[in-house]
Amino acid sequence: MKAYVLKNIGDFSLEEIPGPELGSGRLCGLNKENSVSDDDCVIIEVKAAGICGSDIPRIFKNGAYHHPLIPGHEFSGKVVMTGKNVPDTLLNKRVGIFPLIPCHKCAPCKKREYEMCVNYNYLGSRCDGGFAEYVKVPADNLIILPDEVTYEQAAMLEPLSVAYHAIRKAGLCGKTQGIEKAACIVVCGLGTIGLFVVMHLLSMGYRNILGVGNKSSQKDHLSHLGIPKECYADFNAGDIQAFINEKTEGNGADVFFECVGKNESVSLGLNVLGPSGRLQLVGNPASDMNLTRDEYWKILRKQFTVTGTWNSSFTRSEDDDWNVVLKSIASGKISPEKLITHRFSPEDFYKGFEIMRDKTEDYIKVMCIM
């Protein structure tokens, strides 16, 4: 089969290699203790795969946990082979794939909080992932796609679910909902996750949303989703605190999503939230995080709620993040394909990695269509 193989930092190319097999052992990655028998796996023919922002440093800067590795954790496809313990009814099913493989033994796993598994495996970073024609996947990690959902849309289930998980942690949906629809919500960082947060919020009925980004193209994407351009502020131009203060008539924001991972945007959140505000931390940290004494005082005196979020929940229940998001796509409540800016064939897919690495073009979601 053809696959994009990472042999070492920066040594990444499309190659012809043997395809995955069933019956040859176990699906193993970095954590040998957390491996899955081939009897419980399937072979997926990949139909669409997206590049995550985390793939770029993994390929060009930091490397993976081990080499060689086939990266890619945002993908969808069709089941073409099943292990001995997997029902034949899964054959030829169109599926999305939850990339985190839990150990099912640690304390979080026993509470079905698999996203916080201590001994997890992970497709595309700890074992081979979806930048290939075929990939071996545990059957428990599959979610069957309804006819209304395309392979492209399903390849975005992972980032969509990460965004929804953050919204759930902020208490804005489902059983945890505890804020009025008229609340002022600021989304700082308008990359893929930030824009998906906005997309979800709009589908839930929230309208008082302000976006903070650093590219003019992000204002356009925000506008295409339905947020007026006057509700966008450029982090690099003007006084963002004054902008939010004006938009909230001096009351401050109710919820602030930090989707950047930088000290200055965390500080911004603490300085623009109103009393009892909620700071939802989403972005992976780019450096150490430090709070000033005044910022810490604000957390205490204004009784802020500061919450972290990680990954997404996939428990195979109807109300987990993945199933809720899948229903939203199937019903037409959200249309994630609106954020696909680049589509490539497998042969040209490397151009997508270069665009994201070198930032030679504006992009949101870069997709490979098989």
| pLDDT band at residue 35 under the 50/70/90 scheme | confident
**3.90.180.10, 3.60.20.10, 3.40.50.11030, 3.40.50.300: which CATH number matches 2-155+335-369?**
3.90.180.10
Q: Tens of pLDDT along 241-293?
A: 999 999 999 999 999 999 999 999 999 999 999 999 999 999 999 889 999 99
Q: What is the pLDDT of residue 150?
A: 98
Q: Tens of pLDDT along 280-306?
A: 999 999 889 999 999 999 999 999 999
Q: What is the pLDDT of residue 97?
A: 98
Tokens of residue 291, six digits = 């709070």
State mean pLDDT over 3-14. 97
Q: What angle do CA 173, 304, 283 make, to 5 degrees?
A: 65
Higher pLDDT, residue 189 or 33: 189
What CATH number does the domain located at 161-308 have? 3.40.50.720
Cα–Cα distance measured from residue 277 to residue 306, given in angstroms and rounded to the nearest whole number = 9
Q: According to CATH, where is 3.40.50.720 located in the chain?
A: 161-308
Cα–Cα distance measured from residue 237 to residue 247, given in angstroms and rounded to the nearest whole number = 17
Which amino acid would we find at residue 349?
F
Tokens of residue 315, six digits = 């428990």
pTM (2 decimals)?
0.95
Question: Which stretch of DSSP H or E encloses residue 11?
Answer: strand 11-16
Higher pLDDT, residue 17 or 28: 17
Mean pLDDT for all residues in the chain: 94
Tokens of residue 55, six digits = 């793939």
Task: Please tell me whether residue 244 adopts helix, strand or coil conformation.
Answer: helix
Q: According to CATH, where is 3.90.180.10 located in the chain?
A: 2-155+335-369
Q: Tens of pLDDT along 111-158?
A: 999 999 999 999 999 999 999 999 999 999 999 999 999 999 999 999
Q: Tens of pLDDT along 49-61?
A: 999 999 999 999 9
Residue 313 has pLDDT above 60, yes or no: yes
Q: Tens of pLDDT along 172-230?
A: 986 556 677 888 999 999 999 999 999 999 999 999 999 999 988 999 999 999 999 99
